[in-house]
Structure 1
Amino acid sequence: MHSGPAPLSGLRVVEVSSFVAAPSAGLALAQLGADVIRVDPPGGGSDANRWPLARSGASLFWANLNKGKRSVAIDHRSPEGRELLLALACAPGPDAGVLLDNLVGRHRLRYEDLCERRPDVIHAHIEGHNDGSPAVDYTINAEVGVPTMTGPAETQTPVNHVLPAWDLLSGMTVAMAIVTAVLHRCRTGEGARLELSLADLALTGVGNMGWLAEADSSGRARPRQGNHMFGAFGVDFETADRRRVMVVALTGAQWRALREVTETSAVFAALQDVLGADLDDEGDRYRHRETIAAVLRPWFAQRDFGTVEQLLRAAKVLWSPYLDMAEVAHRAAGDASSGASRIDQPGIGPMLSTGRPLRWNSVTTGPVPAPVMGEHGAEVLAEVLGLSTREIGRLRDRGIVGGADCCGSPIGDLPCTI
């Protein structure tokens, strides 16, 4: 299912998940060549029909987070389904015995259950809070103070953002942890119990940015600053034709380029004396950001976007235009180097999607379709567990296994181990 470098080829990961964090971890592993077997209940889990939707009604969300995986539908809340899932997760082999999940409640598989079947199992579990209580990215983000720092300076209400950053970071953290645990098992023969909560990841994230230390030492929350970048100069400007661009001057060279293209070097030299500031210093540029923006704003307002784009590019200013998602999609579809391309996604048709962003020895891979729910049920159960067509058919007839490919006559009993 992969083309190009597949460094994790042969590694089998069983994924039982929903939402974003765990599926994105599985996606990252699949894009590096791992055989990721996603297990959903027959008919799909809580995210099977999550928005955004294609015109057909199929979930674009599900299709894009599960690209390149194999899909098995098992009612793992039933005793027999649970046994099947345990058997898949604990199947023998040096590159097997890896489970990734974010299951909750009494039906989840626990590390102790897995260890009884396979002592060197690797179990990666993602949860909301570390006490097991539920949370999602948007509730966690509220808890760690980001919405109170986001939005226009004059607003008094929290401003949510739409990017599930903590989910995506959690996914990448867990993907790295799984690969690390596999390497550790190869070296020592030991399995691993890997647990990550969104809350812990988010708190660590704001801590690593210095935001906790800042609030602790100052005794107050950081105020909103609108579109101004914190700690350096960066803000948006409107052009004559009402387009907006984001301009940043982090380094001395970037600040010099911005002054030169806007022909404001003399103005800022004079302002330094008046303000008693050194605008070549990043901190002073931040402290006097409103004054700097006021000087630069007329230059942008007097020129249309095309002119601004040409001049900023030529001057090597650090900047970008503001684009809506339709513009982003159009640009990505027309850029062969973007990594985005249209694929034929079953149930959806042509779908613009993305492949692996990482270049392995200068080579990346394009997107591959997601499976149809339960598409690989018979294939996986036969390959991994050695079940016959009749045994799989029996499971399907009893509602334990779903999927259009699970065919066969309902005759014969299940092996006693299943």
Structure 2
Amino acid sequence: MSNIVINSDWNKKNYKKWFSTRPLNYKWMLLVIFVFPMFAATWEMKKSSGFSPLQLLGLLVFAFGFMSIIRKKSTAPNLIFTFYLFLFLLVSNLLLVFGYEGTIAQFGDTIRTILPFLLFFYFRKHINSMLDLEGFLITFLIASIFPIGTLYYEILFDPIREVYNTESRGGGLRLSGFYADLFGYMSHLICGFISYCYFYIKNIDKRKKSFVFSNLGFLVVLLICLVGIYNLRHQASWAVSLALLLIFVHFIRKKVSFFQLMVFLFIMLGVGFYFYTEIFSTLFAKDINVYQGNAKDSAALNGRVYIWKKYYAFWENFGVIAQWLGSGIAQHEKSRVMMGGGMHNDYVRLFFSTGIIGLLCYLSFLFYLLKNTLKIKMAEMKYLMLGSVMVIIMYSISSLPLLASGAMMYFLMAIISQTNKKFLC
């Protein structure tokens, strides 16, 4: 099977052979990636039954992932100490809040908050070669067929659910299909694009390649992604997708002809111009009003600044230990909210969850990831890692990529967990 990595000869036969030969401890996670889009479509069942198959899947992934971690000895290099300190503070504060609240809902929140980092260590132990990493990327691309197909059914034919933005958020229909929010779609558009670009860059020097990795094939994939993102009407996703496209052009600039490079740059300029003239003023209307002095600062980022200020006022009254080590120590009735998804910002959420020290440790880990990414020599692997880290950094400003991002969370943890491994260099 090693020739697959060398020749990039992934086809149906080789993928089936690769999948069938994976150890059970890795294969079950691949099956989860396959079925996740279908389970994510069952979220509404919790309204009638109090529990959804998606929540059950998350609980099973947590349990099996934990057992897989403790049973298999890791051969991966150690990470920086500050990351382990951050995790210790996060788990400690979650347990303190759970002890204070003592509810099933808080138990679920605790599991959901820890799950991304459990996945990080799971993938770090079970992906140890380029073969398994590429197999994961292909598995994710296959799993993306259902949600992206559903999205285009909504775009071309009829919305499954009619959810409209308020006028202050630009108005218009926001598509979310069977999913709880647009991340059911966005996970596969953004992460699928990163996966595709990985294989495109890897195949760029090959003389004979399939249509999928030709220039025309790239344009088709790019069009699918941009049209999908346009119809989802999400501020942060425009910024993320444009950043990923810019990074992509940077990595291929020396591998394509001058004419091809000009075509790529023309596409980028066209997308950027269209975004600025037709989309920016609508999607960012609130932020523009704040900048021009026509609205209060608290209205910025669709009112998220108001939420942050509101709960920061509670944090100011906490004791010094709680401020430095996490809100769970304060045993305050608002601690649960401050550490939950209502913050709509992972930096703020983790700041409240782990205190000043914890946030500094987390930021040091992000810097550590970036530093290790720059050491990677393979262009396609460097793009994959850098793109994933940038998704976390950028989405964290107004969303929760490490808490409520659906399949995106699985993808990001699988990629960044490979940091500082020898096979990347």
Identify, as 1 or 2, the structure richer in helix: 2
Q: TM-score range by the shorter chain?
A: under 0.3
So what's the TM-score if we normalise by structure 1? 0.27
Identify, as 1 or 2, the structure richer in strand: 1
For CA contacts below 8 A with separation 6 or more, give which structure has more relative contact order: 2
